[in-house]
Amino acid sequence: MEDPETYMKAMLDIDSKKWQESMKSKMDSMYANQVWTLVDSLEGIVPIGNKWVFKRKKGSDGKVETYKARLVTKGYRQREGINYEETFSHITMIKSILKFLAVQHIATMRYDRWM
């Protein structure tokens, strides 16, 4: 079984609940550890952005033991002269967090069909 390459593939995966739990755990941990501070974007500068990376960790018997989700920065989008030589951390706009939560909620909804 291959690991999902995108957020959407993880949400459509048979183990989507496990991926959601892993992402929620990661977000809760980052929030509890005050990993980020919300700041205003600089005028004319587009934030680099980030994405989720998913990995199934298997035991010596080959069975999946844990589901790991990491939030990583899209470093390939850096431009020399803007923040190329600096160390930085994730910058997330509140509307991005709200969109993430909305998509996660919609992906977990169950629909019953009445005829």
- The pLDDT value recorded for residue 76 is 65
Q: Is 32 helix (H, G, I), strand (E, B) or coil?
A: helix
Residue 92 has a pLDDT of: 62
Q: DSSP characters for 1-31?
A: -PPPSSHHHHHHSTTHHHHHHHHHHHHHHHH
Please give the average pLDDT of every successive group of 10 residues along the chain, which has 115 residues: 92 94 91 80 79 93 93 73 59 70 73 59
> Which among 97, 81, 85, 115 is positioned nearest to 35, based on CA atoms?
97
b/e burial code for range 48-66 (CB count within 10 A of at least 16 → b): bebebbbebeeeeeeeeee
Instruction: Report the pLDDT value the prediction gives residue 113, as an integer from 0 to 100.
Output: 61
